[in-house]
Amino acid sequence: MPRTPVILVARTLPAPCEDRLARDFIVHRPAGDCPHPWPELLAIAEGCEGMLVSVSEKLDRATIETLPASIRVIATMSVGFDHIDLAAAKARGLIVTNTPDVLTEATADLTLLLLLGAARRAKEAMALIAEDRWGAWSPTGMLGVDIGRRRMGILGLGRIGAAVARRARAFGMDIHYHNRRRAEARVEDGATWHDTLDSLLAVSDVLVLNAASTPETRGIINARALALLPEGAILVNSARGDLVDDEAVIEALISGRLLAAGLDVFRGEPKLDPRYRDLPNVFALPHIGSATIETRVDMGMFAIDNLASVLSGGGKPLTPVT
């Protein structure tokens, strides 16, 4: 009889994933589905060989150093892994895996929602309905802007960036991007490469952030960067909140240098700078880029595949990031 692996599962997964976990693993889990502080998780991690976590579990160096020696693999059900100190994990010989690809389309869909919400003043328009302040149809009322007449600049033409570009083309947008290296023609698909961020900013009527959070990209959209955008640009961020300098973005939204912003991610989320809540030109969502039934099942299954592959398969993860 093959041995049943013992794992810690930090959050409640969609039902099909939970069914599989119950069938194929011995699961340790905390009570209730909410982010738990590490001391609580560590208390039940003893004897576990793997952990299934999400972006709500921050695994910093100190936490990783206190994990039981039995842990061999940390599988995060996310494409991003900036919540895990990879250097510390590597130093302990831990395998870390993520779930790329399966959330690309859902996140790209959401990015377009953010763009349309910001460009068409959805927050203000919805407030007219919710607060019963809708007067009459007006030739000059609630005017937004046509996204099809604007250029989109994508910072980070990876999987999600390319999927955003595909959708934006259907709206008639002209696509520009900046990656350190030019993407292959298939990915580029007619988009214009800029070898510097500054050059991209100069043409970005709509700036879409699709970069990972790394020491190089944190705070990259600061006052200097915002000053290089065309007047009245729109900022869209479905990647990570810490790519932007909040103070600079909020100032630009107040001054009108930025016409609007569509934001799904925030530095320090779920807490966010309260001014984002108050500004009428901010269309904000609570980090729901991958939040569709199908995609969350795929993400959960992928994380489980990674655990199974390491713990019951040949010891090799499918998508290692360490």
Active-site annotation, residues: 240, 269, 287
- Computed from CA positions of residues 28, 33, 36, 40, in that sequence, does the dihedral angle turn out positive or negative? negative
Residue from the set 63, 78, 111, 217 that interacts with ligand DGY by CB under 6 A: 78
Nearer to ligand DGY, 63 or 78 (CB): 78
Q: What is the closest distance, in whole angstroms, from the C-beta atom of residue 131 to ligand DGY in the complex?
A: 32
Residue from the set 9, 52, 75, 79 that interacts with ligand DGY by CB under 6 A: 79
What burial class does residue 152 get, using C-beta atoms within 10 Å of its C-beta: 0-12 exposed, 13-18 middle, 19+ buried?
buried
Residue 75 binds to ligand DGY (criterion: CB under 6 A): no
**CB-hemisphere CA count at 13 Å for 149?**
4
Taking Cα atoms as reference points, which of 65, 52, 59, 62 lies closest to residue 92? 65
User: Binding string, 92-131, against ligand DGY, x = CB under 6 A?
Assistant: -----------x----------------------------
Q: What is the closest distance, in whole angstroms, from the C-beta atom of residue 109 to ligand DGY in the complex?
A: 13
User: Binding string, 17-46, against ligand DGY, x = CB under 6 A?
Assistant: ------------------------------
Which region, judged by CB under 6 A, interacts with ligand DGY, from 15-23, 76-84, 127-135, 177-185? 76-84
Binding residues with ligand DGY: total (CB under 6 A): 7
Beta-bridge mates of residue 50? 7, 73
How far apart are alpha carbons 51 and 9 in whole angstroms?
A: 6
Which region, judged by CB under 6 A, interacts with ligand DGY, from 74-82, 130-138, 245-253, 278-286? 74-82
Cβ contact 230:202 at 8 Å:
yes
Reduced to 3 states (helix: H, G, I; strand: E, B; else coil), residue 282 is strand
Residue from the set 17, 53, 55, 303 that interacts with ligand DGY by CB under 6 A: 55
Give the Cα-Cα-Cα angle 253, 255, 261 (nearest 5 degrees): 15
Taking Cα atoms as reference points, which of 239, 238, 237, 220 lies closest to residue 228? 220
In the window 254-313, what residues touch ligand DGY (CB under 6 A)? Answer: 289-290
How far apart are alpha carbons 59 and 184 in whole angstroms?
A: 34
Q: What is the closest distance, in whole angstroms, from the C-beta atom of residue 79 to ligand DGY in the complex?
A: 4
Residue 243 binds to ligand DGY (criterion: CB under 6 A): no
Q: What is the closest distance, in whole angstroms, from the C-beta atom of residue 296 to ligand DGY in the complex?
A: 8
Nearer to ligand DGY, 252 or 261 (CB): 261
Q: What is the closest distance, in whole angstroms, from the C-beta atom of residue 103 to ligand DGY in the complex?
A: 5
Cβ contact 53:41 at 8 Å:
no
Cβ contact 239:156 at 8 Å:
yes
CB count within 10 Å of CB 55 equals: 21
Q: What is the closest distance, in whole angstroms, from the C-beta atom of residue 239 to ligand DGY in the complex?
A: 8
Reduced to 3 states (helix: H, G, I; strand: E, B; else coil), residue 11 is coil
Residue 59 binds to ligand DGY (criterion: CB under 6 A): no
Positions that interact with ligand DGY (CB under 6 A) = 55, 78-80, 103, 289-290
